């Protein structure tokens, strides 16, 4: 499903993260955002839809999105008309963009500048918490702090938590190969990347007080033409490609990222898990 409709209201007059940085050195996800890419999730918009469907967001929910980014998923969540939606991000430019979002009807919308591991939001104030493509970039202790914060934010009676992250395949992958893949990703993306295997992601949530009720994996095809068109729509995808072609430094970075993703495609995937607090 393309994202053309739900991104039509994206604010264009507010800078994206990394504006002004040299494309040769900026983090890969910021570079892609600067080129116009709106969906920066490893499993694409299809896996995001799956996640929201299984979170069963409805008009009674108080939703918190951790590291909300450019707001692509925010707009999908708002289409479900929850009681409230709060975006959390630590980047000032991102929060400025998110602060321009509006919800349908009586949905209350807010954007908070804070770290996902310490949001400052009241305990038990959310019925739904989710985060996408952000735990992957955290070391193990930070991953745990974020999941712990999600557990604290949730109303234990009806709370649901979901993640959508990069994963390493298979579960029994050779640790030396896993280290090589993460090193190659870090070199291409210019940001530390620490994905887990599916079992590893499940264990992380279980260790921090959650029971996984459903999960799904998908190919990690972020920069493949078919996924690009599915996520962005044909016209917008062509615009991204055109901007990359006109910027030599950006073109080199995107080519490097795509080369690394293809080199390790047999061992890279996307995963989404939906969980509830363990009783």
**pLDDT tens by residue, 67-81:** 999 899 999 999 999
Task: Encode burial over 110-129: b for 16+ CB neighbours within 10 A, e otherwise.
Answer: ebbbebbbebebeeebbbbb
Residue 135 contacts residue 67 (beta carbons within 8 Å)? no
Classify residue 188 by its DSSP letter: H
Q: Which of 34-38, 136-140, 167-171 shows the lowest mean pLDDT across its residues? A: 34-38
- With bands split at pLDDT 50, 70 and 90, how would you rate the model's confidence at 157? confident
Query: Which region holds residue 178: left if phi is over 0, alpha if psi is between -120 and 50, else beta?
Result: alpha
- DSSP class of 206: H
Q: Provide the pLDDT for residue 270.
A: 98
pLDDT at 5: 33
> What's the pLDDT at 279?
82
- E-strand ranges in 108-205 read 108-113, 128-132, 160-168
Domain 28-277 is found in CATH 3.30.420.40: no
pLDDT for 12 beyond 60: no
pTM: 0.90
Residue 232 dihedral angles phi and psi, to the nearest 5°: -110, -15
108-113 and 84-89 as β-strands: parallel, antiparallel, unpaired?
parallel
Q: How far apart are CA 167 and CA 51, in angstroms?
A: 16
What is the C-alpha to C-alpha distance for residues 175 and 183, in angstroms, rounded to an integer? Answer: 12
Element (H, E) at 87: strand 84-89
In order, the DSSP letters of 213-254 are EEEEEEE--TTSHHHHHHHH-HHHHHHHHHHHHH-HHHHHHH
- Helix 175-189 to helix 248-263 angle (10° resolution) is 170
The conformation of residue 51, written as its DSSP 8-state character, comes to H
Q: What is the helix (H) or strand (E) element at residue 64, kind and residue range?
A: strand 62-66
Asked whether 272 and 50 are in contact (CB, 8 A), the reply is yes
- Residue 61: both structure tokens together: 């929910």
Q: Residue 72 contacts by C-beta under 8 Å, 6 or more apart in sequence?
A: 3, 6, 7, 38, 39, 40, 41, 45, 48
CB 67 within 8 A of CB 22: no
Least confident of 19-33, 136-150, 219-233, 251-265: 19-33
- The CA-based angle 209-213-218, given to 5 degrees, is 110
pLDDT greater than 50 at residue 1: no
Maximum average pLDDT range among 16-20, 155-159, 174-178: 174-178
> Residue 88's closest CA among 56, 122, 120?
120
């Amino acid at each position: 499903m393309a994202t053309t409709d739900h991104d039509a209201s994206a604010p264009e007059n507010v800078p994206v993260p990394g504006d002004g940085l040299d494309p040769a050195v900026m983090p890969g996800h910021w570079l892609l955002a600067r080129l116009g890419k709106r969906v920066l999730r490893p499993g694409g918009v299809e896996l995001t839809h799956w996640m929201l469907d299984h979170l069963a967001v409805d008009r009674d929910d108080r939703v918190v999105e951790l590291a909300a980014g450019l707001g692509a998923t925010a707009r999908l969540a708002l289409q479900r008309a929850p009681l409230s939606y709060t975006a959390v991000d630590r980047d000032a430019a991102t929060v400025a963009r998110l602060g321009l979002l509006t919800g349908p009807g009586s949905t209350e919308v807010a954007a908070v500048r804070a770290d996902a591991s310490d949001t400052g939001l009241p305990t038990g104030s959310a019925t739904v918490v989710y985060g996408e493509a952000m735990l992957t970039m955290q070391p193990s202790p930070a991953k745990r702090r974020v999941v712990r914060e999600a557990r604290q934010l949730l109303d234990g009676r009806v709370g649901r938590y979901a993640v959508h992250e990069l994963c390493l395949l298979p579960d029994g992958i050779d640790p030396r190969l896993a280290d090589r893949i993460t090193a190659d990703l870090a070199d291409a993306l210019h940001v530390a990347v620490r994905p887990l295997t599916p079992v590893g992601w499940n264990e992380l949530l279980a260790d921090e007080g959650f029971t996984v009720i459903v999960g799904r994996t998908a190919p990690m095809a972020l920069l493949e033409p078919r996924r690009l068109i599915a996520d962005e729509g044909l016209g917008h995808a062509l615009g991204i490609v055109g901007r990359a072609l006109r910027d030599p430094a950006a073109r080199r970075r995107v080519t490097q990222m795509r080369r690394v993703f293809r080199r390790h495609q047999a061992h890279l995937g996307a995963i989404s898990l939906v969980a509830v607090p363990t009783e």
